[in-house]
Structure 1
Amino acid sequence: MSKKEIISTDNAPAAIGPYSQAVKVGDTVYLSGQIPLIPATMQMVEGGVVEQAKQVFANLSAVAAAAGGSLDDAVKVNISLTDLGDFTQVNEVMASVFKQPFPARACVQVAALPKGSMIEVEVILSL
């Protein structure tokens, strides 16, 4: 049986609850959901959903790098939005982050996210 390796980096926001930034088991890395916190200040990035999405993917990229990979290794992306009206803008940001072939993805609208965030994204990598 594979052992869990906890992944942590100061280049992404510290966990704000009882969870790890990521957990690696074998060649699979499960990245916890990221909201648009600036790692150095733990404050929300200013701006709308585009700025928030860019910060979220920057945070995820930092965690992926700490795990020995990159977002190019993503096989599954789960996106939570507080407004599905932001779907098109988030797609544009995602298209600038990921290369084809794109990972599998789910996107859902939720009632609320931590700290009033408009977006939260979690990713699974296969290294």
Structure 2
Amino acid sequence: MFSVQLYRIYFRTNIDFSELVLEEIIGIGGFGKVYRAVWIGDEVAVKAARYDPDEDISQTIENVRQEAKLFAMLKHPNIIALRGVCLKEPNLCLIMEFARGGSLNRVANGCSGLGMCVTMNSFSFMA
């Protein structure tokens, strides 16, 4: 069981962007870029929100909040955990648990960094 101090470190909501050390881009999606990063000594994934200059910044902030709420509700050992969120402009991002081995999309579409080849049909029994 986590101590109260560890709980606050690993599950606090607001994270100061200056506590993150971005290492490299590991993906790009509809939400924005995903970076491998280090936060308080742990490897994490940082999902940086894409900001549309034609859109009000408050809408982008709300999108980040909604994504954070979604991940916060999904508590399961097989789902990447949300560690926290940064809502201070211009660094709007989610701080997530980091998973080695590549993305599920990469695994589903062929060979992964795990050394195995699979197809989408292989995942059909998991649903």
- On whether the aligned pair clears a TM of 0.5, the verdict is no
Task: Indicate the structure (1 or 2) with the bigger Cα radius of gyration.
Answer: 2
TM-score where L is the length of structure 2: 0.31
